[in-house]
Chains A and B, each alone.
Chain A
Amino acid sequence: MVEFALHNAWLVPLLPALAFVIIIFLTKPWPALSGLVSVGGMLTSCFFASLAAYGVFTNHKYAEEPLVYATRWFSAGDLKIDVGIQLDPTSAMMIFMVTLVSSLIFIYATGYMKGDPGYSVFFSYLALFGSSMLLLVLSSNLLQMFVAWELVGLCSYLLIGFYTHKISAREAAKKAFVTCRVADFGLLLGILSLQIVFGTLNLTELAEKINNFDQYTTMGMMTLMAVLVFIGPIGKSGQFPLHVWLPDAMEGPTPVSALIHAATMVVAGVYLVGRMMFLFHEVPSAMELVAITGAFTALFAASIAITQREIKRILAYSTVSQLGYMMLALGVGSLTASMFHLWTHAFFKALMFLGAGSVLHALHDKADVWKMGGLIKKMPITGYTFMIGCLAIAGIPPFAGFWSKDEILLAAFDNGNYVLFTMAAITAFMTAFYMWRLFFLAFMGEEKAENHPHESPWNMTLPLVVLAFFATVGGLVGTPWAPVWGEWIFFGHPHHVEPNYLIMVGSVVLGMAGIYLAYTLYLADKEKARAHALAKQYRFLHNLSFNKFYIDEIYLWFNHSIVDGAARLFYLFDIYVVDGILINGIAAFTRLSGEGLRVAQTGRLQNYALVFFLGVLALAVVLAFTDPATAFGLMTGGAK
C-alpha cells in the first residue's frame, strides 16, 4: 500500500481535481452532495499523501536521492519538457501538510458556507485550489510547476472574488491577480533563461548542471536568473513591495483566507525558492537579496499589524510578516528552518484564520477587534484554540512556533549577519505584541452588550481542535535536542544545530515581553487610556502604520500620474501619429495617387500606342547619348 502510494503520488493532486470536475459537471444542483464530494476528494488525497509521506520518511535514501518519475509531455527539437512527480522529504512534508490543512478547512467550510447560494461552486473552486497547490508541490519540472503556479493564481482570483456582489471583493480579486501576474512575468523570464542556458527544466538535471555552471554561463547571468526567479515568489508570497494584494485577499470567504494564508498559495513562493535553492546557493548576492527582502518584509508587516483594527487584516499582516521570516531563513541558507517554519505556521495560521472566521460567523461579520471583547466566555472552543495559536506564533515553548522561530533566529545568527538577526528578533517581539493585542481585545476583557456571540457548530470547531493539537505538538519534530527535521529536510547535507540557549531564552523573553506589553496596554488598563495616549503622542507613526505606510496610496498615485499620464501621451501618439499619419496618411496617399493616375487611362488604343512609341524613342535617345557605339550597332545590326 505504501509502495503503491509512493509510486502513484500523482493521485494526490488528481483526486481533488476530479472532485472539481464532478462538482462542476454532475453534482452542482445539490450543495450538500457537492460539499461531500469535495471533502471526500481531499480526504482521500490526504490518505494517499500520508501513505506517501510515511513511505518517504521511513526510507532515508529519499533524503539523499529524490524519487522522480516523469513522462514526456512534449518535445520540439532540443526542447524536451517532462511532466512528472518528484517525491523527497520536502515535497512529502508539503503534500501531507497541504492535504491535512486543506481537509480541515474544507470540513470547516461545510459549516461556514452553509446556506450560501454558491455553495457547490465554492467547493469546486476549493478542490481545484488544493489540487493546483499539490501539483505545484509535486512537480518535477519547472514548467509544470509554473502551470500549477498560475492555476493557483487563477483559483485565488476566483475565490477572493467569490462574493461577486461586493465591490471590494471584486477589486481585491483583481488586485491579487494583477499583482501576482506582474511577479509571474519575472518568474517566466527566469524559467525561460534557465531553459535557454541549461537546456532543461527538470529540477534534478538542473540541480546537477547548476552545480558546475561555469561550463554553461557566467556569474552575471546566474545572478540575473536568480533574481528573475525570485521576483515570482516576491509576488506570490507577498514580500515587500508586492505584498499589497495579500491583506486585501481577506475579502474572500474566511475558509479561503485560511487556505491562501496557510496551506496553499502564499507558501508556494517560499517553496519555490526552497526548491530552487541549488540556484540561489550558487549566487551569494541573490541569497542576500532573499534574506534582506525577507527580514525587511517581516519587520515592515509587523509594524503595520500593530495598529490594524480588523481581525482578519491583523492576521493577514502577520502572515506577510511570517512569510518574511521564511524568506529570511532561505536567504541565510537554511532550507531546514524555512520549511520548518512553513510547516508550523501552516497549522497555527490556519487555526487562527478559522478561529477568526468562527468569530465573524458569531458576530455577523463585525470585524473590528475594538468592538469585540470577552468572547472567550461565550465561545470557549474558538477562544482557547485561538489562544493556542497566539501562543504558538508568539514563540512560547513548547508550542510549535517557538521551535521554528528559534531555528530561524539561530540560522540568522549563525550566518553572522547581526543586522538581519536584530530585525528578526524585533519582529518576534512585535509579533507577540500584536497577536496578543488582538487576543486581549477580542476574547478577553468585558463583554460588549450589543454582541450576542454563540459557539459555532461542530464541523467548524472540530478543525479548530485538530489544528490546535498540531499547533501545540507540530514543532516537537524539530527540537534542537532531537533534530529529526534537519535529518530529513535539508539542502546539501543534514542540518544539525547545537542548541543555543542564549537565543532560545532570548526569544522566549522577547515573546513574553510582547505579551506583557499587550497585557498592560489592552487588558489591565480597562479604559485603554495609555494605548490611546500613546497613539496620540506618536500620531505620525501611528498614522503611518495604520495606513500601511501609504503603499497602496503610492501605487495609486503612481498609477494615476505616471501610468495614466503615459497612457494619455500614447493615446495622443496613437491618434495623431499612428492613426493620422501612418494609417490615414498612407491611405490618403494611395487614394490621391490613384485619382491622379486614372486620368491617364483613356481607353484609347492610339494613346497607348503613342506612349509605347515615345517610351522606345526615349530609350533610344538615352542610349544614343550615353553609349553611341552600342546604339549604332543595334541600329545597323552590327554592320561595318
Chain B
Amino acid sequence: MLTLTVSLYHYLILSAVLFGIGLFGVLSKKNAISVLICIELMLNAININLVAFNKYMTPGDFVGQLFAIFVITVAAAEVGVGLAIIIAIYRNKLSVNLDDFDWLKW
C-alpha cells in the first residue's frame, strides 16, 4: 500500500507551480483583467507558502496565517484599485489591451 505523507516540499512545489502559472499569465496575457487575475494567483501561491511554513516550521505560533491574512487584505485593496484604474483607462481608450497602454514610454 503506497503511503503518501504530505511534506513541506509538496506544498512548496504546489506553490511554485501556481506562482509560475501566475507569472506566465502576468507576462503574456494581453487582457488587463486576466493579468489582475494572474496576480491574484501569484499572491495566493505566496499564501500557501506562508501557511505551509507556519505548519512545519513554527507550529506553535500563528505568524504565517497572520501574514496570509494581511496578504489577502492587501490583495483585496489592490484588486479594488486595479479594477478602478482599468475602468478609468477603458473609458478613455475603449480598450483593456495592455499593448495599448504605453504612454509612459519616452
Contacts and interface: CB of A to CB of B under 8 A. Distances in A.
Interface of A: 598, 601-606, 609-610, 613, 635-639
Given A598-B106, A602-B105, A604-B102, A613 B57 contact: no
A604 B98 contact: yes
B8 interface: yes
B61 interface: no
By Cβ-Cβ distance, the 3 closest A-B pairs, closest first, are A603-B105, A603-B102, A603-B104
B32 to A, nearest CB: 9
A613 B20 CA distance: 11
Contact of B102 (A598, A602, A609): A602
Given A603-B105, A609-B27, A637-B53, 20 more contacts: A598-B106, A601-B104, A601-B106, A602-B102, A603-B101, A603-B102, A603-B103, A603-B106, A604-B101, A604-B102, A604-B105, A605-B98, A606-B26, A606-B98, A609-B26, A610-B27, A636-B9, A637-B57, A638-B57, A639-B53
Contacts of A613: 23, 27
A620 to B, nearest CB: 12
Interface string B8-44: 1100100000000001001110000001000000000
Contacts of A639: 8, 53, 56-57
A533 B106 CA distance: 91
A601 B102 CA distance: 10
Q: Is the interface of B mostly helix, strand, loop or mixed?
A: helix
B57 A606 contact: no
Contact of A604 (B8, B9, B56, B99): B99
B55 to A, nearest CB: 11
Interface string B69-92: 000000000000000000000000
A601 B105 contact: yes
Contacts of A604: 98-99, 101-102, 105
25 contacts: A601-B106, A603-B101, A603-B102, A603-B103, A603-B104, A603-B105, A603-B106, A604-B98, A604-B101, A604-B102, A604-B105, A605-B101, A606-B27, A606-B28, A609-B26, A609-B27, A610-B27, A613-B27, A635-B12, A636-B8, A637-B57, A638-B57, A639-B8, A639-B53, A639-B56
Nearest to A637: B53
Contacts of A603: 101-106
Nearest to A598: B106
Contacts of B53: 637, 639
Contacts of A610: 27
Contacts of B98: 604-606
Contacts of A637: 53, 57
Nearest to B53: A637
Residue of A610, A635, A638, A639 contacting most chain B CB atoms (<10 Å): A639
A604 B103 CA distance: 8
Nearest to B24: A613
A603 B104 CA distance: 5
Nearest to A613: B23
A638 B57 CA distance: 9
A602 B106 CA distance: 7
B34 to A, nearest CB: 12
Contacts of A635: 12
Contacts of A638: 57
Nearest to B32: A605
Most chain A beta-carbon neighbours within 10 Å: one of B35, B56, B103, B105? B105
Contacts of B105: 601-604
Contacts of B103: 603
B59 to A, nearest CB: 12
A601 to B, nearest CB: 5
A601 B103 CA distance: 11
Contacts of B106: 598, 601, 603
Nearest to B29: A606
A638 B56 CA distance: 11
A428 B98 CA distance: 104
Contacts of A609: 26-27
Contacts of B23: 613
Contacts of B56: 639
Nearest to B23: A613
A290 B70 CA distance: 90
Nearest to B103: A603
A602 B104 CA distance: 8
B48 to A, nearest CB: 13
A492 B7 CA distance: 105
Contacts of A598: 106
A601 B105 CA distance: 5
Nearest to B104: A603
Contacts of B8: 636, 639
A636 B57 CA distance: 10
A635 B11 CA distance: 12
B40 to A, nearest CB: 15
B58 to A, nearest CB: 10
Contacts of B104: 601, 603
A615 to B, nearest CB: 13
A226 B91 CA distance: 87
Nearest to A610: B27
